[in-house]
Amino acid sequence: MFSSKSINSNKNSGFSLIELVISISVLSILSAVAIPAFICFLNKSKATSAMYLMQEIKKNCTIEESLDINANLLQLNDIIGYEIKGISKNNCDDQVILANAIEGDLLPSFEYNNNDKEVIFKFKGMEGTNLSGCIGLICGNGIFSNKNDEMKNKYNIHDFVVKNAAINNECSDYVIVEASSWDEAQKRSQDLGGNLVTINNKEEYSWLQNKVWAKNKLLNDSGDSSDESTYFFTGLNDVEEEGKYVWASGEESEFNNNEDLIHRQNWIAQQGMASSKDYFVIGGTNDKGFTDYVQENYRPDLYNGSSGHLTWVDNNSSWLKNNGNPRHFGLAEIPSCS
């Protein structure tokens, strides 16, 4: 027969099986959070050191040029996580200096070109001058970030992207870019990994109308509270062959030669202008395309929702800019599914 003392002694001698399982589970959860956070901190520290080094090189090269002194570049050594490349002499003249990340999939590389006087980053298929934004990409947007915020962060790193003006729909990211011409808008869309927007069918048109351009929806959601007239360059054009309307992406759409996307005022009343207008914009603040809208009191055959409301323009949208000068942006579409 056991005494009560021996029973109490056994109870206090160690963990029960349930307690042990709970303890292991808690430790596993903490490890899953703490270890990635620690690695993230280390990688950000390495990249920040490299960024500061390159900024210091830029500063010393500027001083060298203004005071005619030597920057002593040959004294520079590799730093943790990075190899310093491109230095062949002590002064900065014509040098392109690199801080190459040893683990390029985890850390950004940096480059200073003394002729351009710019420090740029290269990371995850992107490059630019937004160095602090680049550091933010190292661990996504934080351990507890959501995919939408991370997607916006990825595009915000580019100076020409309207901050936070990005939205996803299935396998496409749509991003608003600053641009004063169709060519500039297309080039910047390509820099993001896509092209100016392709509208494949009425369903996509209506989704974009409601989520992106109608009443400046995406601009307003991104923090731009303006309700002024705004136009977006789209990928539709007939640059290569007059009257053959194609998309900058090379994709096909469900529309017949894409004519059904063109505003009826252009298509019916302004055919004489077609040869000089090779590009298309969408007027976000007044688009009634593919709706039941009809303007009964004047030319209902022109002003209705039976077609899309894309308007033809030249490369610079000169007519619109000379008649009210509304704001212009590009609407980029970037594939988001592998």
The string of pLDDT tens digits covering residues 22-36 is 666 666 665 555 677
In this structure, are 140 and 255 located in the same domain? no
In this structure, are 109 and 184 located in the same domain? no
Residue 2 in domain: no
Buried b or exposed e, range 67-76, using 16+ CB within 10 angstroms? eeeebebeeb
Q: Where are the beta strands (DSSP E) in the chain?
A: 82-85, 96-101, 109-113, 118-123, 126-128, 161-169, 172-178, 195-196, 230-237, 246-247, 279-283, 310-313, 327-335
In this structure, are 183 and 231 located in the same domain? yes
pLDDT digits (tens, 9 = 90+) for 188-242: 999 999 999 999 999 999 999 999 999 999 999 999 999 899 999 999 999 999 9
In this structure, are 118 and 260 located in the same domain? no
Nearest to 80 by CA among 99, 54, 60: 99
d(CA 330, CA 196): 7
Listed residues 145, 173, 189: the one ending a domain: 145
Residue 69 in domain: yes
Residues β-bridged to residue 295: none
Listed residues 87, 119, 145: the one ending a domain: 145
Residue 12 in domain: no
pLDDT score for 163: 93
Domain containing residue 122: 18-145
Higher pLDDT, 119 or 139: 119
In this structure, are 283 and 181 located in the same domain? yes
In this structure, are 165 and 311 located in the same domain? yes
Listed residues 119, 145, 171: the one ending a domain: 145
Q: Looking at residue 247, which CATH number applies to its domain? A: 3.10.100.10
Q: 102: how many CB neighbours lie within 10 A of its CB? A: 13
| Secondary-structure breakdown of the chain: helix, strand, coil percentages, each rounded to the nearest 5 | 40, 20, 40
pLDDT score for 19: 66
The domain tally of the chain equals: 2
Residue with token string 């680049």: 134
Residue 212 in domain: yes
For range 253-263, the mean pLDDT: 91
In this structure, are 321 and 189 located in the same domain? yes
In this structure, are 115 and 188 located in the same domain? no
In this structure, are 78 and 171 located in the same domain? no
Residue 156 in domain: no
In this structure, are 247 and 113 located in the same domain? no
Task: Tell me what the pLDDT averaged over the chain comes to.
Answer: 87
Residue 298 in domain: yes
